[in-house]
């Protein structure tokens, strides 16, 4: 069976850097940090009192107040990104077979804010007995964003959510890619959303000592590969990519941002939260992605790394890159856009793949901001081009994006310049 080629024809995003793709990308190239004091709840007693929040989000542009009550904040983000992506794609659904258009949209946690609010309300009013909102369960579950998007457009093709912590939306893209190239769908709205900037989210990650506590400098707190890094900055938002079978996209005259070349999956099989210290799972997932794409390490120009700004994680990923790419690692650009967006958890892979596509389109690599001084660990070789502090212009023909999740879940995806 000959596999079909898969291209990206639409992009949508709502992030701490902007309300849409244009604003987000412009600020990423400028090296803007989306971090600031938490406004979504009173964080005054928390170890970490800042985050990368989505600013001035207005759901009323696409949902009336009554309907919005059925949506957790994460699902509102998902729908906003999907709407922009669909509009950007130019798909005329009146001319399409909606049985062949699907939605694979993920979250690592899902409606944690809804869970927190409903259970908290129960314990606050425990003497009155259990009184839960009838929308509690459908608002909370991690698959509901995919359901809402399909209902918005009447899309009856494959519909599901991959849940693999911070690797979730990269897995969603990989699954969508496979379904289209196998001929099981013509187009798929793929991506991820997350909204865990809440008491449970921040409190839970604080208890693990996973978050930066640099409260005096929120915008400088996410500093991947810098000696003074002390944890990640939690973020929120969503990104949607419209994946489409190549011949179908060409036939309707679609704008093509790039081609999905291959994807990879692996497991660390090591620890519930820590990455393997030698980066074994990270090595395997990148090798798997390259093999799936039929590409050599030398074909990759840019790696958008997982790069969360944690002491152990950054080192293990660099070890893996040097192992997989060898001498070519010194010819590539490497950057962690989490230094600007914060860590969007289950939505991270989607926004970082979107950045990779725009790097190909515009010939520029977004920076890793907040670098101050090198780590003394010999496993981080600063002769590698980490694109520190300032975007760099270069031709990017192919880019690889990594995401790694708690539980040892690893996912990589490769995008490349489209050539008919």
Average pLDDT for residues 124-135, to the nearest whole number? Answer: 87
Rounded Cα gap, residues 256 and 357, in angstroms: 10
Question: What pLDDT does 276 receive?
Answer: 93
Rounded Cα gap, residues 111 and 131, in angstroms: 18
Question: What pLDDT does 377 receive?
Answer: 78
305 — pLDDT class (breaks 50, 70, 90)? very high
Residue tagged 């994680």 (tokens): 313
Question: What pLDDT does 416 receive?
Answer: 98
213 — pLDDT class (breaks 50, 70, 90)? very high
257 — pLDDT class (breaks 50, 70, 90)? very high
Average pLDDT for the chain: 97
Question: What pLDDT does 293 receive?
Answer: 98
127 — pLDDT class (breaks 50, 70, 90)? confident
> Active-site residues: which are they?
166, 306, 343
Burial 247-281 (b: 16+ CB within 10 A, else e): ebbeeeebebbbbbbbbbbbebeeeeeebbeebbb
Question: What pLDDT does 39 receive?
Answer: 98
Rounded Cα gap, residues 286 and 253, in angstroms: 33
Question: Token pair for residue 234?
Answer: 């939690």
Rounded Cα gap, residues 321 and 317, in angstroms: 6
Question: What pLDDT does 159 receive?
Answer: 98
Predicted TM-score (pTM) above 0.85: yes
- Label each residue of the chain as H, E or C: CCCCCEEEEEEEEEECCECCHHHHHHHHHHCCCCCEECCCCCCCCCCCCEEECCCCCCHHHCCCHHHHCCCCHHHHHHHHHHHHHHHHHCCCHHHCCHHHEEEEEECCCCCHHHHHHHHHHHHHCHHHCCCCCCCHHHHHCCCHHHHHHHHHHCCCCCEECCCECECHHHHHHHHHHHHHHCCCCCEEEEEEEECCCCHHHHHHHHHCCCECCCCCCHHHCCCCCECCCCCECEECEEEEEEEEEHHHHHHCCCCCCEEEEEEEEEECCCCCCCCCCCCHHHHHHHHHHHHHHCCCHHHCCEEECCCCCCHHHHHHHHHHHHHHHHHHHHCCEEECCHHHHCECHHHHHHHHHHHHHHHHHHCEECCECCCCCECCCCCCCCCCECCECCCEECCCCEEEEEEEECCCEEEEEEEECCCC
Rounded Cα gap, residues 104 and 101, in angstroms: 10
Question: What pLDDT does 126 receive?
Answer: 85
At 336-390, the pLDDT tens digits run 999 999 999 999 999 999 999 999 999 999 999 999 999 887 878 999 999 999 9
The answer to whether residue 304 scores a pLDDT higher than 90 is: yes
86 — pLDDT class (breaks 50, 70, 90)? very high
Q: CB burial class (10 A; 0-12, 13-18, 19+) of residue 230?
A: middle
The answer to whether residue 219 scores a pLDDT higher than 90 is: yes
At 8-53, the pLDDT tens digits run 999 999 999 999 999 999 999 999 999 999 999 999 999 999 999 9
At 309-347, the pLDDT tens digits run 998 899 999 999 999 999 999 999 999 999 999 999 999
């Amino acid at each position: 069976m000959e596999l079909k080629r898969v291209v990206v024809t639409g992009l949508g995003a709502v992030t701490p850097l902007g309300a849409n793709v244009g604003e987000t990308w412009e600020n990423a190239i400028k090296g803007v940090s989306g971090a600031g004091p938490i406004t979504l709840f009173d964080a005054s007693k928390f170890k970490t009192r800042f985050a990368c929040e989505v600013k001035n989000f207005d759901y009323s542009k696409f949902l009336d107040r009554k309907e919005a009550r059925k949506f957790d904040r994460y699902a509102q983000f998902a729908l906003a990104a999907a709407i922009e992506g669909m509009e950007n794609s130019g798909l005329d659904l009146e001319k399409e077979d909606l049985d062949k258009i699907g939605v694979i949209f993920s979250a690592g946690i899902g409606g944690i804010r809804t869970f927190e609010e409903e259970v908290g309300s129960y314990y606050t009013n425990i003497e009155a007995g259990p009184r839960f909102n009838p929308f509690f369960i459908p608002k909370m579950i991690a698959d509901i964003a995919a359901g809402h998007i399909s209902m918005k457009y009447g899309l009856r093709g494959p519909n599901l959510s991959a849940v693999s912590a911070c690797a979730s939306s990269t897995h969603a893209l990989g699954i969508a890619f496979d379904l289209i190239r196998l001929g099981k769908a013509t187009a798929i709205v793929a991506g991820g959303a997350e909204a865990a900037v809440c008491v449970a989210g921040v409190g839970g990650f604080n208890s693990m000592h996973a978050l930066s506590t640099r409260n005096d400098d929120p915008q400088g707190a996410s500093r991947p590969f810098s000696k003074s890094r002390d944890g990640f900055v939690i973020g929120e938002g969503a990104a949607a990519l419209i994946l489409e079978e190549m011949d179908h996209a060409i036939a309707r005259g679609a704008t093509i941002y790039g081609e999905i070349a291959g994807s990879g999956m692996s497991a660390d099989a090591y620890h519930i939260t820590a990455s393997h210290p030698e980066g074994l799972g990270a090595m395997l997932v990148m090798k798997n992605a390259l093999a799936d794409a039929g590409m050599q390490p030398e074909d990759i120009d840019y790696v958008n790394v997982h790069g969360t700004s944690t002491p152990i994680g950054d080192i293990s990923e660099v070890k893996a890159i040097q192992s997989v790419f060898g001498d070519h690692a010194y010819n590539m650009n490497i950057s962690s856009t989490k230094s600007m967006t914060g860590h969007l958890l289950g939505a991270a892979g989607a926004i970082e793949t979107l950045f990779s596509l725009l790097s190909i389109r515009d010939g520029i690599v977004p920076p890793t901001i907040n670098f101050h001084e090198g780590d003394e660990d010999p496993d981080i070789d600063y002769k590698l081009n980490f694109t520190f502090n300032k975007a760099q212009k270069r031709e990017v023909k192919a880019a690889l994006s990594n995401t790694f999740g708690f539980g040892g879940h690893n996912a990589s995806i490769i995008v490349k310049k489209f050539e008919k």
